[in-house]
Amino acid sequence: MPSLHITLITAGILGLIFLGLSVYVVVQRTRAKVMLGDGDGKPGTEALRAATRMHANFAEYVPLILILLGGIEYAGAPHNLVLGLAVALVVARLSHAFGLPRPAPNPLRAAGASLTWIVLLVASAEALILAF
């Protein structure tokens, strides 16, 4: 029976990153005294807006990519491909999270977003190849 070892490790690491982003949102909410939303553009809520976007962007991409990684790993994709995609995804999400709060444009945010899309594209293509 195929193992999902790489996917499980990646999901564990990304779960911890997501928890960190969640705590960061709570900290920013407390500082800005905003319990719902992102402050609606009020002065002093810029860090909260960035924190909520980091968190939301992570939640938008990571679950689907993890499903794809698990699927291609289970279906027998080359070990190095799955491992490479997993490492790239972790690096991409960290890069995006550290880059998003910085003034745009910045290379960390752009690299994180671009690398996430590349991982999504390659994992999706591999899933289709293995399915047929």
| The pLDDT of residue 1 | 61
pLDDT band (50, 70, 90) for residue 86: very high
Architecture, CATH, for domain 5-131: Up-down Bundle (1.20)
Round to whole Å and give the CA distance between 24 and 72. Answer: 32
Q: Note whether 18 and 59 are within 8 A (CB).
A: yes
Tokens of 30: 């407390």
Rg (CA), the chain: 17
Q: What is the mean pLDDT of residues 60-87?
A: 97
Q: Which residue has the higher pLDDT, 104 or 98?
A: 98
Which residues 6+ apart lie within 8 Å of 85 measured at CB?
69, 119, 122, 123
Q: What is the mean pLDDT of residues 117-124?
A: 98
Report helix, strand or coil for 5: helix
| The pLDDT of residue 24 | 95
Mean pLDDT (the chain, rounded): 93
